[in-house]
Structure 1
Amino acid sequence: MSRSPRTALPFLPLSRITPPPGRRRALRAGAAVAAAAALAAPAGTAAADAADVRIHDIQGTTRTSPYADRQVSGVPGVVTAVASSGSVRGFWFQDPEGDGDPRTSEALFVYTGDATPEVSPGDEVAVSGTVDEYSPGEGAQTVTQISGADWEVLGTGAEPPAAVRLDPGTLPDAYAPEGEDIGGLELDPEAYTLDFWESSEHMLVEVADARVVGPTDSYGALWVTTEPEQNPTPRGGTAYGSYDDPNGGRLKVEPLAQGEVPEANVGDELAGTTRGPLYYSAYGGYLVKAAEVGEHVDGGLERTRAQEPQDGRLSVATYNVENLSAGSGQEVFDRLAKGIVDNLAAPAVVGLEEVQDDSGPDDDGTVTPEATLKRLTDAVSAAGGPAYQWRQIDPEDGADGGQPGGNIRNVFLFDPERVSFTDREGGDAATPVEVVDGADGPELSVSPGRIAPADEAWRETRKPLVGEFEFEGRRVFVVTNHFSSKGGDQPLHGLTQPPRRTTEEQRHAQAELVRAFADELHAADPEADLVVMGDLNDFWFSDTLATLTGGGLHNPMEDLPAEERYNYVFDGNSQSLDHILIGGASAGTAEYEIARINSEFHDQVSDHDPQVLRFTPGGGADGAGS
């Protein structure tokens, strides 16, 4: 591991610097807060002497400061960057002298609340205030900062300290020490990536010719990799393929000012130097507050198109349409339709997730999605696609989670020219579907139906939608799902290592119920064609998927090279949340494609990539297809 040395630059002792006229500054509100805090401080916590306390003393050798909640005064440093807008306002300052200890950061952030600090990069300052450990969110690490501050500008035009250079190979191989709370552990920046980042907190860092691994988001931020050989995907991303390897080289780039980060896709490059202080947020962990951004180089990433199925092959797709409602703009419907018609090759059956009711997020008791689905199917027809029909079941109002008021649900679209839907009355929000004996083999008690909708596993979650189709005389059963979100899991970058995946217990229970349905169907007919698909909110290597595939369902994503097993990009990790599984006689004929049209692009219409499966129901003589 290499690390840029923290070289000392000329820095006069405070007693020998004379402030220039007009350059003495104090934040009056901050001074008042600091004074009040000093008066209220318990005995033994008086302000430390400026001659004895420097930034590295405040930062210490763990994640929390030994001076937390104490007053400090006259702490010297050079201003490196100023945050004058957005939710975080203040400035960063850094000690050019340093102590030579790689565990101790030489920089701090001065939080100024809603006020814009009257300082500029290169100002030499002496800062007084209260040392805080600010927590940006539950389970996250804390940010060491000074608040309630006042300061003096003692000189101007100082050379900024040298930035920590993030060259390939700089980061350790291991990601983090293990522990329920690593906040108090001694930092070891040569052994662990998270310790390296923490030991550089607030310091200037820079990365050269950085490859983009997470597209620019709606807040103007993107993700790059400082370790370009770390699990690269063929399209320029970073593949997440194991809980043991979080890909520590990922680094978020947030602009210090709006518009400083370009609209970039995965595989693009920020040529030259991207530089700024290293900060920390609950949204992604360590990031560079970019005062300088490399030049955007377009990598030419293109959206992919699935192949057309041959005669005798049934095409089935899944697509999370991200809170689609009748109130969504026409451009959203048109782009979704184009994705279905052009990029998915107009599948015979499409399972949709996150279709909202007609009033969208308005919590007015509406549960029907008829206007939403008519707008979508009309857009598909206008794009040259089939005249899709749909089947779905209205949920109970507010019972299925998602955006409040939206009543998201799963939906089937199908092309009646190629496949027929077998309607059996009685399916509603509360009635469970069952496998029953029919004259020609197993069939559904209700179609469409829902799997065990009253089970606690589906509390505040979308219930699986099951439908019975017929394709060229062959019965095909399809289940489209939207399992519980991973939103409550602890972050990869948090204080608990390894992080607890608290939400997976519910998904495991959901997988058991879907698996039980599949087992029941295949107990009645081992050759029954079954497709289980949708947003399962878990990875191809997870226990959730293992539960489903352990019953004989096959996940064709696992037939792809490991670096291609993704359809979602989160925090710079290319990962898999959506899946299509297949079982029965047709499993050996399956051909699977991911339509890469959203997750890697800054102008995405959904955050999920759809995917399509082509297969020959019953197995057929020709199991290959195209």
Structure 2
Amino acid sequence: MAVLTAGLGTTAGQAAADTAPAACDAPATHQIAQVQGTGDTTPLNGQTVRVEGVVTGDYQGTDQLKGFFVQDPTPDSDPKTSDGLFVYSTKEVKPGDRVLVTGKAVEYSGLTELSPVTAVDVCGTGDIAPANVRLPLPAGTSAESYEGVLLRYTQRLTATETYQLGRYGEVTVSAGGRLFQPTDRPHPGDNAAAQAANNSRRLLIDDASTVQNPAKVPYTEPRLLRIGDTTTGLTGVLSQGFGSYRLQPTRAPKFAPTNPRTKKPRNVGGDVRVASFNTLNWFTTLNKRGADTAEEQERQLTKLVAALKGLNADVAGLMEVENNGDTAVKTLVDRLNAAVGAGTYSWIRHPNPGTDEIHVALIYKTKKVTPVGAARSSSAPVFERPPLVQTFQRKSGGAKFTMVVNHFKSKGCTGATGADKDQGDGQGCWNARRVTQAKAIADLAAGEENPLVLGDLNAYGEEDPVKVLTKAGLVAQTPRFVPARDRYSYVFDGQSGELDHALAGKGLSRRVTGATIWHINSDEPTIADYNTEFNPPSLYKPDAYRSSDHDPVLLGLNLR
């Protein structure tokens, strides 16, 4: 391609060529561009070819790709053809070697390559300068035209996904900051267009390794990479595999800690602090949804207590607590009290916890607030995990408020039929069920004094269930106090969004003094959690970070 430069005419390169074996006299039969072609696959599939190029990326280790990339120093003038190619061979080469390679042109997992290879002849040296690119690529330009090409990204890129960091050494970055779920906030055009725009801004960084769950995970030293951290000058060869284009770095990316951990949540003011926290399957029963071993359970409990201690909420609604009577919630409260003082917290017994393995729970500070009346719930059959409703008042008096703790149906598609199937609108499966649940909660809240509807609604900010609640007169609190860039509580498929909400009745909304989302979980790699199966032991810390996969929400209320 015209953006590439070559330097084969050096004295050292000529000397190496002069002393090369006779094999170097056998000329190339094709340019790399001819092997790549203008489409997604090689037009020479199955044919034996001989190409000439300069080695740009060497990944021949037994735990790597077992090959190297070469690039044509004399690219053609067609912007649709790539001038780089992967060679599946462990014949020793190094970056800068000018080579002539003979092999069969094939496609492997979307990548055009030579395999098997019958000859790799080192015939001198050369130099390939990286092509400067930016995301998103210009309209009409396909990533395929850069396959196998040495690239340098000339913009700041933001880590937007680390889910596969521990298992495969992969990180997804994006241009223009982190990616947000299209259904989480307003945007131009429809959700499909917004998703396409997101896809055009993202890039997967691979580690050129075939090892799963390596003992040494990249981007964990000197600090653990967080979503929101940034890198500049990213350089590598664009490869393809497993359904994605992926950059194989030629020099290790360095991420700046532009999204550092915070030791405590932002001050929300008020005289009563209220929180919502999905505990990610806090179970006292082993080998179910939560911990598999006693060691994991202890590690999980330690992290959950650290998070709850840091929140310092006077009342907290909890999701994904094992539905085994008072056992799981009591164990959590007992350990929390051991950390903050005996008798500090108690819990509300759920009058109708449902039949799911998990249920919602409520804990509160006994010296700060008093439960008013009995706990209530809903008998509506639409709830797998019925809400928990409890009115509270400050010990010293003042306005009452009513917690309505929820965990709506998830987006997973198992068992979905009819209107509950994925409708292709970005809201996932079971949206119709969540809408019905939201209507039931809106009706319930309408009969309560100063309702505060909170919890994991499994719906992003612009989705139908949230709109049902706001149209019923409930006021979403995080949009009032949390900047848009920080308004998220969960990350899925590299896109951030707000699944965990807090909506107040209009009267109570006037008493809300602040709201924040404490980003201790969603930005953290999963390898920092309590699990022991594959996580590097050194990454576990007895702190709040990655205590769950959801970030807790915290509100301040002025009830005097």
Same fold, TM exceeding 0.5? Answer: yes
- 1:391 Cα shift? 4.3
Give the match for residue 95 of structure 2. Answer: 121
Give the match for residue 171 of structure 1. Answer: 135
- Establish whether residue 222 from structure 1 lines up as the match of residue 171 from structure 2: yes
Give the match for residue 98 of structure 1. Answer: 75
Give the match for residue 234 of structure 2. Answer: 274
Aligned match for 1:334, one of 302, 316, 323? 302
- SS class of match (1:376): helix
Give the match for residue 332 of structure 2. Answer: 376
The CA deviation string for residues 468-516 of structure 1, in whole angstroms up to 9 with x for no partner, is 212128462513114323699xxxxxxxxxx984773534213221222
- Establish whether residue 387 from structure 1 lines up as the match of residue 345 from structure 2: yes
CA–CA distance in structure 1, aligned partners of residues 229 and 87 of structure 2 = 34
Question: What letter corresponds to residue 277 of structure 1 in structure 2?
Answer: V
- SS class of match (1:255): coil
CA–CA distance in structure 2, aligned partners of residues 208 and 575 of structure 1 = 27
CA–CA distance in structure 1, aligned partners of residues 36 and 496 of structure 2 = 34
The CA deviation string for residues 387-408 of structure 1, in whole angstroms up to 9 with x for no partner, is 3425467765xxx6xxxxxx45
Aligned match for 2:138, one of 190, 198, 213? 190
Give the match for residue 57 of structure 2. Answer: 81
Aligned match for 1:420, one of 359, 367, 371? 371
Q: How does 1:468-487 map to 2 (within 5 A)?
A: 468-472=389-393, 474=400, 476-485=402-411
- 1:86 Cα shift? 5.0
Contact 1:111 1:146 in 2 (8 A): yes
Contact 2:360 2:388 in 1 (8 A): no
Q: How does 1:354-369 map to 2 (within 5 A)?
A: 355=321, 357=322, 368=324
Give the match for residue 535 of structure 1. Answer: 456
Identity across matched positions, percent: 25
Q: How does 1:467-546 map to 2 (within 5 A)?
A: 467-472=388-393, 474=400, 476-485=402-411, 501=424, 504=427, 506-521=429-444, 525=447, 528-546=449-467
CA–CA distance in structure 2, aligned partners of residues 485 and 87 of structure 1 = 36
- Establish whether residue 578 from structure 1 lines up as the match of residue 500 from structure 2: yes
Q: How does 1:449-460 map to 2 (within 5 A)?
A: 449=378, 451-453=380-382
CA–CA distance in structure 1, aligned partners of residues 77 and 4 of structure 2 = 7
CA–CA distance in structure 2, aligned partners of residues 21 and 210 of structure 1 = 45
Question: What letter corresponds to residue 255 of structure 1 in structure 2?
Answer: D
- Give the RMSD, CA atoms, in angstroms: 4.1
Contact 2:354 2:386 in 1 (8 A): no
Pick closer, same or farther for the CA change 1:549–1:199 going to 2, 3 Å.
farther
Contact 2:279 2:304 in 1 (8 A): no
- 1:416 Cα shift? 4.4
- 1:129 Cα shift? 2.2
Pick closer, same or farther for the CA change 1:79–1:19 going to 2, 3 Å.
farther
Contact 1:223 1:253 in 2 (8 A): yes
Aligned match for 2:518, one of 595, 601, 605? 595
Question: What letter corresponds to residue 477 of structure 2 in structure 1?
Answer: P
- 1:562 Cα shift? 2.6
Give the match for residue 201 of structure 1. Answer: 147
Contact 1:410 1:482 in 2 (8 A): no
Question: What letter corresponds to residue 337 of structure 1 in structure 2?
Answer: V
- 1:205 Cα shift? 1.5
Pick closer, same or farther for the CA change 1:352–1:306 going to 2, 3 Å.
farther
CA–CA distance in structure 2, aligned partners of residues 247 and 20 of structure 1 = 46
CA–CA distance in structure 2, aligned partners of residues 145 and 578 of structure 1 = 44
The CA deviation string for residues 137-157 of structure 1, in whole angstroms up to 9 with x for no partner, is xxxxxx223364214111166
Contact 2:452 2:505 in 1 (8 A): yes
- Establish whether residue 611 from structure 1 lines up as the match of residue 546 from structure 2: no
Question: What letter corresponds to residue 515 of structure 1 in structure 2?
Answer: A
Question: Between Structure 1 and Structure 2, how many residues are aligned?
Answer: 482
Give the match for residue 107 of structure 2. Answer: 132
- SS class of match (2:280): strand
- Establish whether residue 61 from structure 1 lines up as the match of residue 28 from structure 2: no
- Establish whether residue 307 from structure 1 lines up as the match of residue 267 from structure 2: yes
Pick closer, same or farther for the CA change 1:255–1:556 going to 2, 3 Å.
same
The CA deviation string for residues 588-615 of structure 1, in whole angstroms up to 9 with x for no partner, is 4333211122233454413321112334
- 1:18 Cα shift? 9.0
Pick closer, same or farther for the CA change 1:89–1:580 going to 2, 3 Å.
farther
CA–CA distance in structure 2, aligned partners of residues 266 and 103 of structure 1 = 33
CA–CA distance in structure 2, aligned partners of residues 421 and 278 of structure 1 = 62
CA–CA distance in structure 1, aligned partners of residues 487 and 170 of structure 2 = 25
Pick closer, same or farther for the CA change 1:145–1:612 going to 2, 3 Å.
same
Question: What letter corresponds to residue 150 of structure 1 in structure 2?
Answer: V
- SS class of match (2:391): strand
- Establish whether residue 350 from structure 1 lines up as the match of residue 317 from structure 2: yes
**TM-score normalised according to structure 1 size:** 0.65
Give the match for residue 6 of structure 1. Answer: 4
Pick closer, same or farther for the CA change 1:150–1:574 going to 2, 3 Å.
same
The CA deviation string for residues 129-181 of structure 1, in whole angstroms up to 9 with x for no partner, is 242252xxxxxxxx223364214111166334221223xxx335xxxxxxxxx
- SS class of match (1:598): coil
**TM-score normalised according to structure 2 size:** 0.72
Give the match for residue 264 of structure 1. Answer: 225
- SS class of match (1:515): helix
- SS class of match (1:383): helix
CA–CA distance in structure 2, aligned partners of residues 394 and 266 of structure 1 = 35
Pick closer, same or farther for the CA change 1:162–1:592 going to 2, 3 Å.
same
Question: What letter corresponds to residue 404 of structure 2 in structure 1?
Answer: V
The structure that is helix-richer by fraction is 2
Give the match for residue 418 of structure 2. Answer: none
- SS class of match (1:382): helix
Give the match for residue 561 of structure 1. Answer: 483
Question: What letter corresponds to residue 171 of structure 2 in structure 1?
Answer: L
Pick closer, same or farther for the CA change 1:78–1:248 going to 2, 3 Å.
same
CA–CA distance in structure 1, aligned partners of residues 373 and 78 of structure 2 = 71
Contact 1:484 1:503 in 2 (8 A): no
Contact 1:349 1:415 in 2 (8 A): no
Contact 1:554 1:581 in 2 (8 A): yes
- 1:566 Cα shift? 1.8
Pick closer, same or farther for the CA change 1:309–1:333 going to 2, 3 Å.
farther
Runs of at least 5 residues in structure 1 that lack an aligned partner in the other structure: 25-49, 135-142, 173-188, 358-366, 401-406, 425-443, 455-462, 489-498
Contact 1:530 1:582 in 2 (8 A): yes
- 1:80 Cα shift? 2.3
Give the match for residue 539 of structure 2. Answer: none
- SS class of match (1:218): helix
